[in-house]
C-alpha cells in the first residue's frame, strides 16, 4: 500500500494539470474561509462553541444515537442499522428493489463512496446518477472523487469539456456556464423520472429526529422532494444534540468548507410526505452506517469522529496540495483521511498515510471541530509501527538511535566516529551532496551539512557564563479570554439586504400596496405567462395572485401525483417544469446570512421554489431575525417540527465545481428575488 501511495504521489507531482488545479484550490479556499469567518462577530468564540458541541456529542455518542433513532422513528422515518459497509449497501439495494427501481438519483454522499454503494446498485441492474455537478463529472469519467467537497478538483475546464463532448454528445465548449447548463438539462429529466433518491446526511438532530442536508446546487432538494422514495445514508457520528447546537454548527460548516456564510440550501427533513401535502418523498429511510465507527469510538483515535467533513484540512494541507486526493487511495483523502482510513478500514493497509505528513499543524489550525490532528496522526503512527512491517532502515535505525542516545558516552563516540568518516564524502562548499541510502533521499534535492568535528558539548567548557542572573520569571502562558457574544447591531433589513446581495440574491423593498405591481412588472419583464404559486396564503399573497391573474398570468399550484400512477406523474412534472417562475411566501428571513426559510405542506410545494429558473419570495420585514438561532428560539422549533421538510434558502442555486468558477442556476433557480414588505 505504501509503495503504491508513493508511486501515485510521484505521478501526481509530475502532472501539471493537477498541480495547477490543486494550487487554485488551496489559494482560493483558504482566502474564502478567512473571509467567511471574518463576518462572524466573534469567530473564535463560535469555533470554540462548535468544537465543544462536537466533543459533547462524541463523548455521549451512544445516548444521542439512541435518542435520534427514537425520534426519527416517531416521525415516521424507517431507520436501519447501525450497519457494516456491506450490510448498509445491501439494505439500500433491497429498498430500491422492493420499489422496482430502475433509476436512482443521488446527491453527494461520502459515506456512499465509503461503502461502494453505486457499484452494488449497478450490479443489481439499476442506473445510478450522481447529480452533484462535480460528482456527475467524475462519474462520467469513471473516476473517484478527488476531494470530499470538490470532487472534480483535479480537473481543469478543458478536461470537463472533453468529457461532456464524448459522454453527453454535446458540442465542445469550455465555457463553464454553458457546461453547467448542459448538466442541468441532462439531469432534469433524471430528477423527474427517478424512482429513488439517495442522499447523505450532514447532521441528525438527536432531540427532534431531524435530518439535515446542506447543498448548493439544489440537487439535494430535488432528490428528497421528487422521487417517491428517499434513502438517507448517515455515519453514526454525524449527530448534533439540539437545534440550537445545529445553528452553531451551520455557522462553521459552510464557512470552513466553501467559504460561504451558509450554503444555498439547508434542508431540514422531519418526516415523509403526509396525506394532503403537495410533494416530498412518500417513504423515507435512514440507513445508519457503523462500518468501524463504534469500534473507533472505543479506541485512542476517537477524536477523529469529531469531524464535520468540511474538507478544510484538505485545503490547508501542504501535502494534499502536492499530491491531490486520489493518491491517498481511500474515499477520505487528506489529513482527516489519514486518521479515518486507518481507523475504519485497517491500520495495516492504511496506517502508512499517517506518515505522509510533516506534522505542520495547518490542519489543526483550520479544523472547526477541534481535532488535534498532530496528536491523532502520532497515535496512528504508534499503532502502525506495531501492526505493519516497517522499512528495514527504520526497523534497525530506531533502536540503534535510542541505544546511542541513551548514553552520552556512546552518543559522543558515535558522533565523532561518524564525523570522521563523513569527511571523506564529496562536498561542495563544505556541505555534502551525495549520501548513501537511506539518506540518499535527502541529497536528491538538498545538500546536507557534515557532522561537526567538534560538537557543542566539547566546546562548552570554553564558554564563560557572564550573566548575573538579574531577571525574574514573571510570565506564565497567557489565558485567552473569550468574549461574550454581543447582540447583532444595526438595522436587520439593511443587513439582510447586504447579505442577500452578497450571495447574488436580489432585494426589493416595497409597501404591501405596491407589491402586486412590482411582482407583475417583473414577471412581464421576463415574459412569464405561467408560474408556479403556493395555494391560498395571507391577504398580501392573495392580493398578488389575484392581480397576476387579472394581468393574464396563469398560476399553477404544484402538486406531485402519488406514486401509484406513474404515467400521469411524469407528465404532470414535465408540465410543471415549464413554468417560468415560482412565487412563495416564507416563514422568516435571517439577517446574518440573507436567508429565507420556507416550510412545505398543504398548498406549499417545494417544487415552486425548486423547478423554475426564478424564485420570488415575499418576506415581511417583521419576520427578519438576526440569526438562525434567534429564529429557532422564537418559534422556529415548532415550525421545524410541523413541517415535513423545511428549507433554508440563501441565494440562488450555485456551483463552483469546475475550477472553482461560480455559476448560478445549476439545478435550482438561477435568480432569487426577495420582496420585503413592511
Query: Restricting to residues 438-467, which ones interact with another protein according to CB under 8 A?
Result: 438-439, 441-442, 444-449, 451-452, 454-460, 463-467
Exactly one of 360, 425, 493, 580 binds another protein (CB under 8 A); that residue is 360
Exactly one of 261, 357, 606, 627 binds another protein (CB under 8 A); that residue is 357
Q: How many CB atoms lie within 10 A of CB 342?
A: 29
Q: 401 is written with which cell numbers?
A: 538511535
Report the C-alpha gap between 389 and 395 in whole angstroms. Answer: 8
To another protein, the closest distance from the beta carbon of 387 in angstroms equals 10
Residue 391 touches another protein, criterion: CB under 8 A:
yes
Q: Which residue in this structure is represented by grid cell 405591481?
A: 517
C-beta closer to another protein: residue 30 or 506: 30
Is residue 346 a contact partner of residue 380, using CB atoms and an 8 Å limit? no
Is residue 600 a contact partner of residue 639, using CB atoms and an 8 Å limit? no
Is residue 223 a contact partner of residue 107, using CB atoms and an 8 Å limit? yes
C-beta closer to another protein: residue 393 or 566: 393
Q: Near another protein by CB under 8 A, which window of 68-76, 382-390, 530-538, 641-649?
A: 382-390
Q: How far is CA 242 from CA 222, 368, 625, 633, in A?
A: 26, 18, 19, 12
Residue 365 touches another protein, criterion: CB under 8 A:
yes
To another protein, the closest distance from the beta carbon of 478 in angstroms equals 9
C-beta closer to another protein: residue 104 or 304: 304
To another protein, the closest distance from the beta carbon of 113 in angstroms equals 24
To another protein, the closest distance from the beta carbon of 545 in angstroms equals 57
Exactly one of 426, 428, 511, 525 binds another protein (CB under 8 A); that residue is 428
Q: 5 is written with which cell numbers?
A: 501511495
CA-CA-CA-CA torsion sign (23, 25, 31, 33): negative
Question: Residues touching another protein: how many (CB under 8 A)?
Answer: 78
Q: How far is CA 154 from CA 12, 112, 196, 321, in A?
A: 10, 20, 30, 11
C-beta closer to another protein: residue 9 or 661: 9
C-beta closer to another protein: residue 264 or 364: 364
Residue 312 touches another protein, criterion: CB under 8 A:
no
Q: How many CB atoms lie within 10 A of CB 475?
A: 6
Exactly one of 323, 367, 520, 666 binds another protein (CB under 8 A); that residue is 323
Between β-strands 431-432 and 427-428, what pairing exists: parallel, antiparallel or unpaired? Answer: antiparallel
Residue 431 touches another protein, criterion: CB under 8 A:
yes
Exactly one of 40, 61, 156, 359 binds another protein (CB under 8 A); that residue is 359
C-beta closer to another protein: residue 186 or 360: 360
Q: Near another protein by CB under 8 A, which window of 32-40, 162-170, 215-223, 390-398?
A: 390-398
Q: 38 is written with which cell numbers?
A: 471574518
Q: Near another protein by CB under 8 A, which window of 50-58, 99-107, 472-480, 507-515?
A: 472-480
Q: Which residues on neighbouring strands pair with residue 596, listed in sequence order? A: 589, 649
C-beta closer to another protein: residue 445 or 481: 445
To another protein, the closest distance from the beta carbon of 49 in angstroms equals 21
Q: 664 is written with which cell numbers?
A: 448560478
For the purposes of burial, counting CB atoms within 10 Å of the CB of 240, is it exposed (0-12), middle (13-18) or buried (19 or more)?
buried
C-beta closer to another protein: residue 298 or 428: 428
Residue 423 touches another protein, criterion: CB under 8 A:
no
Residues 257-296 vs another protein: string with x where CB under 8 A? Answer: ----------------------------------------
Sorted by sequence, the CB contacts under 8 Å of residue 172 that are 6+ apart come out as: 161, 162, 164, 165
Is residue 22 a contact partner of residue 153, using CB atoms and an 8 Å limit? yes
DSSP 8-state secondary structure symbol assigned to residue 592 = T
To another protein, the closest distance from the beta carbon of 301 in angstroms equals 13
Phi, psi of 489 (to 5 degrees): -95, 165
Report the C-alpha gap between 402 and 393 in whole angstroms. Answer: 14
Phi, psi of 272 (to 5 degrees): -70, 165
Residue 356 touches another protein, criterion: CB under 8 A:
yes
Residue 555 touches another protein, criterion: CB under 8 A:
no
C-beta closer to another protein: residue 367 or 548: 367
Residue 358 touches another protein, criterion: CB under 8 A:
yes
C-beta closer to another protein: residue 86 or 457: 457
C-beta closer to another protein: residue 457 or 517: 457
Cis check: omega of the bond before 438, within 30 degrees of 0: yes
Report the C-alpha gap between 281 and 269 in whole angstroms. Answer: 10
Q: 365 is written with which cell numbers?
A: 489550525
Amino acid at each position: 500500500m505504501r509503495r503504491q501511495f508513493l508511486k501515485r504521489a510521484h505521478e501526481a507531482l509530475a502532472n501539471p494539470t493537477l498541480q495547477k488545479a490543486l494550487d487554485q484550490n488551496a489559494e482560493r479556499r483558504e482566502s474564502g474561509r478567512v473571509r467567511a469567518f471574518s463576518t462572524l462577530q466573534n469567530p473564535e468564540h463560535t469555533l470554540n462553541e462548535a468544537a465543544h458541541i462536537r466533543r459533547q456529542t462524541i463523548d455521549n455518542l451512544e445516548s444521542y444515537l439512541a435518542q435520534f433513532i427514537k425520534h426519527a422513528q416517531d416521525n415516521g422515518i424507517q431507520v436501519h442499522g447501525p450497519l457494516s459497509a456491506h450490510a448498509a449497501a445491501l439494505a439500500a439495494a433491497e429498498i430500491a428493489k422492493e420499489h422496482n427501481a430502475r433509476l436512482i438519483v443521488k446527491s453527494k454522499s461520502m459515506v456512499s463512496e465509503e461503502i461502494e454503494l453505486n457499484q452494488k446498485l449497478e450490479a443489481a441492474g439499476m442506473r445510478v446518477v450522481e447529480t452533484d455537478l462535480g460528482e456527475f463529472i467524475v462519474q462520467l469519467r469513471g473516476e473517484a472523487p478527488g476531494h470530499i467537497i470538490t470532487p472534480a478538483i483535479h480537473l481543469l475546464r478543458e478536461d470537463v469539456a472533453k468529457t461532456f463532448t464524448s459522454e453527453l454528445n454535446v458540442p465542445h465548449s469550455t465555457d463553464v456556464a454553458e457546461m453547467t447548463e448542459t448538466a442541468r438539462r441532462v439531469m432534469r429529466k433524471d430528477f423527474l423520472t427517478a424512482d429513488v433518491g439517495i442522499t447523505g446526511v450532514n447532521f441528525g438532530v438527536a432531540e427532534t429526529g431531524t435530518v439535515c442536508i446542506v447543498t448548493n446546487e439544489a440537487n439535494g432538494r430535488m432528490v428528497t422532494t421528487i422521487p417517491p422514495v428517499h434513502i438517507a445514508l448517515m455515519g453514526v457520528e454525524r449527530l448534533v444534540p439540539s437545534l440550537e447546537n445545529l445553528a452553531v454548527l451551520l455557522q462553521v460548516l459552510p464557512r470552513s468548507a466553501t467559504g460561504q456564510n451558509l450554503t444555498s440550501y439547508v434542508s431540514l427533513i422531519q418526516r415523509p410526505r403526509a396525506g394532503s401535502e403537495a410533494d416530498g418523498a412518500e417513504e423515507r429511510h435512514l440507513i445508519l452506517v457503523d462500518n468501524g465507527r463504534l469500534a473507533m469510538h472505543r479506541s485512542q483515535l476517537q477524536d477523529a469522529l469529531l469531524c464535520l467533513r468540511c474538507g478544510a484540512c484538505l485545503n490547508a494541507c501542504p501535502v494534499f496540495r502536492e499530491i491531490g486526493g486520489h493518491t491517498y487511495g481511500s474515499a477520505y483523502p487528506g489529513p482527516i483521511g489519514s486518521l479515518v482510513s486507518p481507523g475504519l478500514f485497517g491500520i495495516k493497509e492504511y496506517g502508512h498515510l499517517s506518515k505522509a505528513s510533516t506534522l505542520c499543524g495547518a490542519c489543526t489550525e483550520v479544523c472547526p471541530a477541534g481535532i488535534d490532528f498532530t496528536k491523532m496522526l502520532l497515535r496512528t503512527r504508534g499503532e502502525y509501527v506495531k501492526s505493519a512491517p516497517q522499512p528495514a532502515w527504520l526497523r534497525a535505525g530506531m533502536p540503534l538511535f535510542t541505544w546511542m542516545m541513551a548514553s552520552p558516552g556512546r552518543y559522543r563516540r558515535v558522533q565523532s566516529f561518524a564525523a570522521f568518516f563523513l569527511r571523506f564524502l564529496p562536498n561542495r562548499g563544505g556541505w555534502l551532496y551525495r549520501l548513501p541510502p537511506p539518506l540518499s533521499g535527502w541529497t536528491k534535492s538538498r545538500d546536507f551539512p557534515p557532522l561537526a568535528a567538534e560538537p557543542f558539548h566539547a566546546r562548552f567548557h570554553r564558554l564563560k557564563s557572564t550573566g548575573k542572573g538579574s531577571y525574574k520569571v514573571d510570565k506564565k502562558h497567557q489565558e485567552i479570554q473569550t468574549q461574550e457574544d454581543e447582540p447583532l447591531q444595526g438595522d436587520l433589513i439593511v443587513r439582510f439586504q447586504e447579505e442577500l446581495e452578497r450571495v447574488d440574491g436580489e432585494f426589493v423593498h416595497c409597501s404591501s400596496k405596491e407589491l402586486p405591481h412590482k411582482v407583475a412588472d417583473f414577471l412581464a419583464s421576463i415574459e412569464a405567462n405561467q408560474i408556479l404559486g403556493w395555494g391560498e396564503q395571507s391577504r398580501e399573497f392573495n392580493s398578488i395572485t389575484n392581480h397576476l391573474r387579472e394581468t393574464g398570468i396563469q398560476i399553477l399550484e404544484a402538486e406531485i401525483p402519488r406514486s401509484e400512477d406513474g404515467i400521469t406523474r411524469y407528465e404532470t412534472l414535465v408540465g410543471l417544469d415549464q413554468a417560468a417562475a415560482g412565487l412563495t411566501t416564507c416563514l422568516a428571513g435571517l439577517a446574518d446570512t440573507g436567508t429565507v426559510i420556507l416550510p412545505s405542506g398543504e398548498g406549499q410545494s417545494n417544487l415552486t421554489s425548486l423547478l423554475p429558473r426564478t424564485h420570488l419570495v415575499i418576506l415581511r420585514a417583521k419576520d427578519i431575525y438576526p440569526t438562525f438561532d434567534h429564529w429557532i428560539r422564537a418559534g422556529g422549533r415548532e415550525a421545524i417540527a410541523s413541517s415535513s421538510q423545511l428549507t433554508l434558502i440563501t441565494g440562488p442555486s450555485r456551483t463552483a465545481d469546475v475550477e472553482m468558477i461560480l455559476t448560478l442556476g445549476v439545478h435550482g433557480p438561477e435568480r432569487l428575488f426577495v420582496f420585503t414588505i413592511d
